[in-house]
Amino acid sequence: MKILHTSDWHVGKVLKGQSRAEEHKAVLAGVIDIARAEQPDLVIVAGDLYDTAAPSSEATRLVTRALTALRRTGADVVAIGGNHDNGPALDALRPWADAAGITLRGGVRENPDEHVIDGTTAGGERWRLAALPFLSQRYAVRALEMYELTAAETNQTYADHLGRVLGRLTEGFTEPDRVHLVTAHLTVTGAATGGGERDAHTVLGYAVPATVFPATAHYVALGHLHRAQRVAGPCPVRYSGSPLAVDFGEQENIPSVTIVEVTASTAARVREVPVTAASALRTVRGTLAQLAEIEAPDAWLRVFVREQPRAGLREEVQELLPRALEIRIDPELVAASGSGTRIAQRSGRSPRELFADYLDSRGHADEGVRELFDELFEEVDH
């Protein structure tokens, strides 16, 4: 059978005030084109369909249309909720999804059998997929209680809980003539973050070892980390990565989807297919004179300016580089100018004095900024 594995669409993403709706339309159209060309038997979307738990109607329309289009290629489609998604809201779409022939699992259900999906390809290959949406630490304990496993002790870790839940969902991975698959939205120890993930859900407390997956699985399709990568484990474990760079920390990533070919008796063969529709993200740095000389790339830009702060500097950079979304004083320059400066003491000092001390500590000599602060403070104070 052939599988198209994708994740972390983050539809509805706004980057430094810039909507990426048109990019998302082009990116998902690219994913659909890949599906039409590859003709997979199964499409797995491993979480974070949306960037926010309260997506706009436009974002919801784009996601549902994309899932429908993927289904119309003839593939079975399974999508799970990620940490950015609202699990109950996704589950509220299940009547629509069921009618469209799409399997949608937003949150963990009381019946574990709902997370075990069986299918057969047009060529007769039977498959079974254990689908685990993102679980917070609190709901990981609740899932164990629902599945009537051994009582969760307070000193057990998140990894313990996830391992036991996955063990319950994959306990039927024993038939030799069936392809056994897992999809989940989580962090595996040792994997590299992409740069734009939500920090609270990638710290070590949320990381699980790859040994939580059974050796009998033919392929594990993961979401949550935005960099496409293979993870060492007892079976083939892989992140597909995001099909577009979500934040500037991901500018070195190569957006793609993963194509997997596997049978019940042969190992998974994996390849990446690039998705190139979104604008690239790039960082440039230099003085104003240097920035004026560069050939601006066709990308959204983060600009590190090697100039002392002053009023109007942002506007000057924006005029030189209209696609600059983030403009900051170069951190290396700030570190150099700030070394050895004294820290303002708050006690007994006026706001004007504190602000003046802050400007001095940053080497900010523009009197216009101090005057503007005085005017604004005067308005607020009276």
Q: Kindly report which listed range (190-204, 299-313, 359-373) carries the lowest average pLDDT score.
A: 190-204
Total count of domains within the chain = 3
Tell whether 291 and 235 lie within a shared domain: no
Residues 46-93 have pLDDT tens digits of 999 999 999 999 999 999 999 999 999 999 999 999 999 999 999 999
pLDDT at 340 over 50: no
Distances 195 to 80, 134, 251, 356, 378 between C-alpha atoms, Å: 22, 19, 8, 35, 42
Tell whether 35 and 95 lie within a shared domain: yes
More confident residue, 311 or 274: 274
With cut-offs at 50, 70 and 90, classify the pLDDT of residue 262: very high
Burial of 320 (0-12, 13-18, 19+ CB in 10 A): middle
Question: How many whole angstroms separate alpha carbon 61 and alpha carbon 25?
Answer: 11
- Mean per-residue pLDDT over the chain, rounded: 88
Boundaries of domain holding 162:
2-274
**Residue range 291-303: average pLDDT?**
91
Tell whether 309 and 367 lie within a shared domain: no
Tell whether 245 and 329 lie within a shared domain: no
Q: What is the CATH number of the domain that holds 127?
A: 3.60.21.10
Q: pTM of this prediction?
A: 0.84
Question: How many whole angstroms separate alpha carbon 134 and alpha carbon 82?
Answer: 5
Question: How many whole angstroms separate alpha carbon 377 and alpha carbon 358?
Answer: 16
Tell whether 213 and 94 lie within a shared domain: yes
Tell whether 143 and 230 lie within a shared domain: yes
Residues 154-172 have pLDDT tens digits of 446 788 889 989 999 999 9
Domain boundary among 274, 303, 324: 274
Tell whether 184 and 258 lie within a shared domain: yes
What is the pLDDT, as a whole number, of residue 186? 94
What is the pLDDT, as a whole number, of residue 150? 55
Tell whether 221 and 364 lie within a shared domain: no
Tell whether 42 and 189 lie within a shared domain: yes
What is the pLDDT, as a whole number, of residue 127? 98
Tell whether 326 and 350 lie within a shared domain: no
8 A C-beta contact, residue 41 and residue 1: yes
The pLDDT > 70 percentage for the chain reads 85
**Residue range 188-192: average pLDDT?**
90
Alpha helices in 130-234 (DSSP H): 137-146, 158-169
Tell whether 169 and 233 lie within a shared domain: yes
Domain boundary among 238, 253, 274: 274
Residues 365-376 have pLDDT tens digits of 667 777 788 778
Domain boundary among 228, 251, 274: 274
Residues 212-250 have pLDDT tens digits of 999 999 999 999 999 999 999 999 999 999 999 999 989
What is the pLDDT, as a whole number, of residue 137? 73
8 A C-beta contact, residue 231 and residue 213: no
C-beta atoms surrounding 203 within 10 Å: 9
Tell whether 135 and 212 lie within a shared domain: yes
Burial letters for 254-273: b for 16+ Cβ neighbours within 10 Å, e otherwise? ebbbbbbbbbeeeebebebb
More confident residue, 377 or 221: 221
